[in-house]
Amino acid sequence: MSDRISVAKTYKLYIGGKFPRSESGRVYPVNDTKGKFLANAAHASRKDVRDAVSAARKAFPGWSSATAYNRGQVLYRVAEMLEGRREQFVAEVTASEGTRKAPSIVDAAIDRWVWYAGWTDKIASVLGAANPVAGPYFSFTVPEPTGVVGVLAPQKSSLLGLVSVLAPVLATGCTAVMVSSAERPLPAITLSEVLATSDLPGGVANILTGYAAELGPWLASHGDVNAIDPTGAEDRAALAREAAGTVKRVLSVPAEEPDWTQRPDIARLRRYLEAKTVWHPMGV
């Protein structure tokens, strides 16, 4: 019997396509459902939130102006890499959620990512319109990405729920700053490694590990965040008050965490888009 002591992993944050340690230097232990130690995760700070928002804002012009086809191909590549690391995700979901359904959960998460990737070049035709007007004008309404989105990931669903809230943000052309589940962060950390080695430009998705109760208010009150998804927040009313100070969109989410295994629809895509109407005179 070996008396070797294994090296405990200490995971970092994912900001701007890189893996920095938390500015605070803090980490916290991550345990499985039976209390067994799995790893240390970085405990993100307010400064880390600011750095992540800056990275997301810097990445927004390039990502939002990319063609819908290109965004779809990039996101599909992420799904390919999720498939390639399927066994690791199954092990981490099993440890994080203590469920025997981990293989089907991981498969559903991969399929969910593919589903949203397929919508990138269909959004404009479904949510846009040619408007009938009484006059010599053309009038078109086109959907445009709202900007930088702060996402508080579900606390219970460590992978499928996480994919269900992150993928639609990226599919619309927005950039994201996501705070993962505090108790179940390992699938989010592995997803950040997938994103870093895929074709996704740095800064388009930023993943912080830590506590939503601590990081959420800072994310909601940040003046350069355009929308916030409070799914994983405990006090959503307080979060909405913080967001009101900078007049940002706060997504309406159910009081209880939804059943992420249900078929998705385009509601989450619609939430991250603004309608832009263009008028043009005929004959010019």
Res. 284 pLDDT band, cuts 50 70 90: low
Higher pLDDT, 3 or 183: 183
For residue range 7-35, list pLDDT tens digits in order. 788 999 999 999 999 999 999 999 999 99
CATH of region 10-281, choose from 3.30.560.10, 1.25.40.10, 3.40.605.10, 2.60.40.1120: 3.40.605.10
Mean pLDDT across 201-213 = 97
Give how far the C-alpha of residue 263 lies from the chain's centroid of Cα atoms, to the nearest Å: 18
For residue range 64-73, list pLDDT tens digits in order. 999 999 999 9
The closest alpha carbon to 106, from 81, 85, 89, belongs to 89
Distance separating alpha carbons of residues 195 and 110, to the nearest angstrom = 13
Checking 131-138 for CB contacts under 8 A at 24+ apart, the result is 131/277, 133/279, 136/281, 136/282, 136/283, 137/279, 137/280, 137/281, 137/282, 138/279, 138/280, 138/281, 138/282
| Strand ranges (E), 47-184 | 129-130, 137-145, 148-152, 175-179
Give how far the C-alpha of residue 152 lies from the chain's centroid of Cα atoms, to the nearest Å: 8
pTM beyond cutoff 0.75: yes
Domain locations in the chain as residue ranges: 10-281
User: Is residue 243 within 8 Å of 221, Cβ to Cβ?
Assistant: yes
